Copies of this chain bind each other. A is one copy, B any other.
């Protein structure tokens, strides 16, 4: 935990707990730096993070202000790190996995293109049903190159693939690309997600990248329409 991270945590806490008047600027950078016993640069870096999360905004010559709408709808935790996997995102819930399919195959042309590999690089083909508090939640179809993410087994699939990648393989997940769409359910959805005939499905197509820019995962997550929504924040530079 770096100094700027812990300062950032504390300031975020204060804002959420209304320790600072919502219609006033928060204390200036120099005062805060003194209070936290750090340099102004470090203070600025901590505040930069909160600005990038949409919690604060600055006015040169005026001060730093709270974005009121950000804390009025309990939407504060929207800015979670997305690269965590379901097991970590819902860690206060009981998340289980049912392995529907777990195979190795040569990838199709489409898979090759998305994973930036050739057709002779084997990939895992995994279908998992994720169950949250006993209810079917999402059906995940995942392709991962065996060369990049080796050693997948049933035990890992029953827990968190992301934990395995980050902690056992010690790889860094740098980012992701998502395409979100609505579609009609197919037979697999009916079978595992307990859909009614006309329930829509929220499908998230996902490409995950490591910090060397190499894609390691191409997946389709099919969600029950009444159990999931995607939240995004876009701030211009």
Decide: A174 and B57 in contact? CB cutoff 8 A: yes
Write out the residue numbers on chain B whose beta carbons fall within 8 Å of the beta carbon of A31.
Answer: none
Tell me the bound Cα distance from A197 to B65 in angstroms. 48
Decide: B176 and A234 in contact? CB cutoff 8 A: yes
Option from B69, B113, B184, B233 in Cβ contact (under 8 Å) with A198? B184
A59: nearest chain-B partner, CB-CB = B212
Decide: B175 and A69 in contact? CB cutoff 8 A: no
Write out the residue numbers on chain B whose beta carbons fall within 8 Å of the beta carbon of A212.
Answer: 57, 59, 65, 67
* Interface assignment of A220: CB less than 8 Å from any CB of chain B: no
* Interface assignment of A90: CB less than 8 Å from any CB of chain B: no
Write out the residue numbers on chain B whose beta carbons fall within 8 Å of the beta carbon of A215.
Answer: 69
Indicate with 1 or 0, residue by residue over A33-68, a CB within 8 angstroms of chain B CB atoms: 000000000000000010010101101000001111
Smallest CB separation, A108 vs chain B (Å): 14
Decide: B175 and A234 in contact? CB cutoff 8 A: yes
Smallest CB separation, A64 vs chain B (Å): 10
Copies in the complex: 2
* Interface assignment of A201: CB less than 8 Å from any CB of chain B: yes
Write out the residue numbers on chain B whose beta carbons fall within 8 Å of the beta carbon of A231.
Answer: 177-180
Decide: B209 and A182 in contact? CB cutoff 8 A: no
Once A54-B213, A201-B200 are accepted as A-B contacts, the answer to whether A116 and B72 lie under 8 Å apart by CB is: yes
A213: nearest chain-B partner, CB-CB = B67
Write out the residue numbers on chain B whose beta carbons fall within 8 Å of the beta carbon of A86.
Answer: none
* Interface assignment of A7: CB less than 8 Å from any CB of chain B: no
Decide: B202 and A181 in contact? CB cutoff 8 A: yes
Smallest CB separation, A40 vs chain B (Å): 13
A to B CB contacts below 8 Å, 30 in the list: A52-B237, A54-B175, A57-B211, A57-B213, A65-B212, A68-B214, A69-B114, A69-B209, A69-B213, A69-B215, A72-B116, A83-B234, A174-B235, A175-B233, A176-B234, A177-B234, A180-B202, A180-B232, A182-B182, A182-B183, A182-B202, A182-B223, A183-B225, A184-B198, A184-B199, A197-B198, A198-B198, A200-B225, A230-B230, A232-B232
Q: Please name the 7 residue pairs, one residue from A and one from B, whose CB atoms are nearest each other, closest first.
A: A200-B200, A67-B213, A175-B235, A57-B213, A182-B182, A181-B229, A182-B202
